[in-house]
């Protein structure tokens, strides 16, 4: 039996990279999805991959509380319930700390941390009406490892592991809440990230060769962990951080 069929979930950052791949995999398993992204054209293109009544796209900036509230309202209006969340949107904020503009610093915090708060604040009460649910947040190995010229990114990702532990304590056993922390995965975000290095053209190949698995990650590597954590096979797992990193943190 497919346990995701007729379950309803919200996926942020769904129009590219890891978020898009997670959406595709959950859609194939029959989940009803509320998809979030800023690019309306990309969102409409994504909708064509699902059955007509299976998904809805909400265009908007998750830095705004109203966008997150609209995601939850869309789930309830169309499906009457909300079962899971996958928070996948992210922003890099590249630059040495003294060189970062105030706007870039605040935007990175707003995207990577404030938006997590907003969605959880609006979603948790609705999920409680149906006995709770399952939440997976996409973090980063940057919570445990410094990267050149990524101060805003590492600061925001570093806040997520303790937040997830706190939420697991406060909302168990109704909710299971976990964090998945990728290393270098082949996504548009990664290709933008390497611009922080002087040898951007060479760094990806060098990174892959240094990893114990001798390759960069692909979005499916992360999706596999997310779908496992959303499933009943992970029914005794909460408050945990899973580094899906090809062995990066072992180097």
- Residues carrying an active site annotation: 153
CA distances (Å), 223 to each of 19, 25, 235, in order? 8, 7, 18
Query: Whole-angstrom Cα distance, residue 105 to residue 163?
Result: 20
CA Rg, the chain, in Å?
17
Q: Where are the alpha helices (DSSP H) in 102-159?
A: 102-109, 115-128, 151-158
Query: Whole-angstrom Cα distance, residue 17 to residue 188?
Result: 7
DSSP-assigned letter for residue 110: I
């Amino acid at each position: 039996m497919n346990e995701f069929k007729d379950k309803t979930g919200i996926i942020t950052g769904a129009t590219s990279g890891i978020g898009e791949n997670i959406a595709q995999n959950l859609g194939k398993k029959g989940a009803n999805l509320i998809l979030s992204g800023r690019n309306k054209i990309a969102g409409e293109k994504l909708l064509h991959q699902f059955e007509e009544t299976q998904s809805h796209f909400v265009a908007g900036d998750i830095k705004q509380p109203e966008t997150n509230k609209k995601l939850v309202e869309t789930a309830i209006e169309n499906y009457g319930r909300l079962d899971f969340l996958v928070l996948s949107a992210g922003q890099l904020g590249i630059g040495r700390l003294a060189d970062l503009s105030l706007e870039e610093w605040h935007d990175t915090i707003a995207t990577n941390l404030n938006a997590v708060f907003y969605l959880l604040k609006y979603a948790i009460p609705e999920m409680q009406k149906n006995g709770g649910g399952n939440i997976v947040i996409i973090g980063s190995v940057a919570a445990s490892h410094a990267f050149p010229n990524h101060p805003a990114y590492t600061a925001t990702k570093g806040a997520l592991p303790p937040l997830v532990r706190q939420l697991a304590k406060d909302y168990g056993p109704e909710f299971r809440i976990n964090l998945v922390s990728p290393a270098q995965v082949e996504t548009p975000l990664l290709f933008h990230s390497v611009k922080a290095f002087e040898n951007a053209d060479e760094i990806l190949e060098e990174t892959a060769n240094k990893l114990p698995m001798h390759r960069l990650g692909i979005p499916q590597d992360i999706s596999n962990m997310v779908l496992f954590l959303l499933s009943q096979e992970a029914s005794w797992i909460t408050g945990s951080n899973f580094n899906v990193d090809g062995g990066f943190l072992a180097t």
